[in-house]
Amino acid sequence: MTAISGVWLPIITPFVDGAVDLAGYERLLRHYLDTGITGIFPVGTTGESPTLDDDETERIVERTLEVVGGRLPVFVGVGGNATAKVLRTLRRLERYRFPGIVSVCPYYNRPGQDGLYAHFRAIAEATDREMLIYNIPYRTSVNLANDTLLRLAELPSVVGVKDSSGNLAQSLDLLRRRPDGFAVMTGDEASFYTMLAHGGDGGILASAHVATERFVALHARMAANDHRAARAIWSELEAVVPLLFREANPMPIKHWLWARGLIPSAECRLPLTRVSAALAAELDALAHEPATAAR
């Protein structure tokens, strides 16, 4: 099984003049491979996966595997709200060698718990890759209950969850009840420190594009049971995280990356546009603040 812990990066997809910027993507990957992150998650929703066509997705997966070269685990975003389409995507990606997938709860059609269970079971049974389930109710309008998730955890390929439930009581209940070896990675930046304090394995964090080493250091200090040092790091990050989600993700992160010179364009694909002028000014200041952005 893949070791799923630490700080994983759900990496953005850069665009230039409407096209996927593969050269810029490669440079970005190489930058983050040297920051101490422990996993890469391409073509997730932070990577604007709903706007990518099949050929673009495959090129991004191929380039990711070439650049990473086995240094870190790569879990690819394979999800959607039509089970049959998700299964077709899995089949298209069969020729690529990566250990796992991250699959988001179906959005818009709002299935019940029986539908969620059947959806994820169908995906799990269609692949021999490891699978993280991504629960993010505020985007999907459906919450995967812990009872349902723990039933899915009985399937051999379901090895963990990206937990963005937004409900701390639910998250802590999951930590208490999860089976041995089942990874709980928070996707909710505001809960990162708290989840680590209660035994969580780490985070799959869009905000780890910014101040990456500080997120990595926080996890390391918590793993070493140095809560005082970890709390000092978290006090720095607490002020940064809300700024990155004030407007739709990944617009603020892309603006920050552009302001830092890490990507040549801050553009997203419609219906996402660009950050407001007011937020851009704050992000520009953050991008040039070494105490937060460069450490």
Evaluate whether 171 touches 186 at the Cβ level (below 8 Å).
yes
Q: Are 7 and 205 in contact (CB under 8 A)?
A: yes
Interatomic CA distance for residues 195 and 175, integer angstroms = 9
Exposed (0-12), middle (13-18) or buried (19+): which is 17, by Cβ within 10 Å? Answer: exposed
Nearest CA to 10 among 44, 53, 34, 38?
Answer: 44
Give the Å distances, CA to CA, from 266 to 21, 91, 228, 242, 257.
11, 32, 37, 19, 7
The question of whether 162 is a catalytic residue gets the answer: yes
From the list 32, 107, 117, 162, the catalytic residue is 162
Residues 6+ apart with CB under 8 A from 96: 58, 61, 62, 65, 76
Q: How far apart are CA 222 and CA 226, in angstroms?
A: 6
- The Cα–Cα gap between 51 and 175 comes to 34
Token pair for residue 32? 């983050």
Cα–Cα distance, 121 to 48 (Å, whole number): 25
Counting DSSP H helices and E strands in the chain, the numbers are: 13, 10
The one catalytic residue in 134, 138, 193, 254 is 134
- Is the CB of residue 8 less than 8 Å from the CB of residue 38? yes
The residues carrying an active-site annotation are 134, 162
